[in-house]
Amino acid sequence: MNCPLANVEEVFATAQGAVYQCSRKNCYWLEFQHTTTAFRISDFFSFKKRIDAINVASMIDDASRRSDFEIVMPFRTERCFLLAVQDILALREILAGAKFMIELNSEVKKMLRKGSVLAS
């Protein structure tokens, strides 16, 4: 699922990573931990829900070594994320920002369509 760079637009970015949208392939690209992962639209939102569901408080409270990291393998990708608490928090910030921008863009487009119908 390779997208030429000319067709990719930034959705949201932080110092830790970014989300890009490719209209040509109808997908989102997550740039995180020095790699890029492509997601179908529905898989992107499922991945966000999965990251949001990780219990960071229990990871912090648990003194055992097995709670230091969370392994997440997104659906329909070849990527495996090994996430420490700070990685999970950074990824949540990126995904939440991207979701907000996607929803904001959708609402703006709705309002513009309504405005053009009313203006006619």
**Does 70 map to a domain?**
yes
Structural domain harbouring 27:
8-118
Q: Using one digit for the tens of pLDDT, what is the confidence trace for 52-105?
A: 999 999 999 998 888 899 999 999 988 999 999 999 999 999 999 999 999 999
N- to C-terminal Cα separation, the chain = 41
Return the HEC string of 41-68: HHHHHHHHHHHHCCCHHHHHHCCCHHHC
pTM for this structure?
A: 0.87
**Does 75 map to a domain?**
yes
**Does 100 map to a domain?**
yes
**Does 3 map to a domain?**
no
**Does 2 map to a domain?**
no
pLDDT of residue 62: 92
Number of domains comprising the chain: 1
**Does 31 map to a domain?**
yes
pLDDT of residue 117: 62
Whether 21 and 28 have beta carbons less than 8 Å apart is answered as yes
Q: Using one digit for the tens of pLDDT, what is the confidence trace for 99-120?
A: 999 999 989 988 888 776 665 5
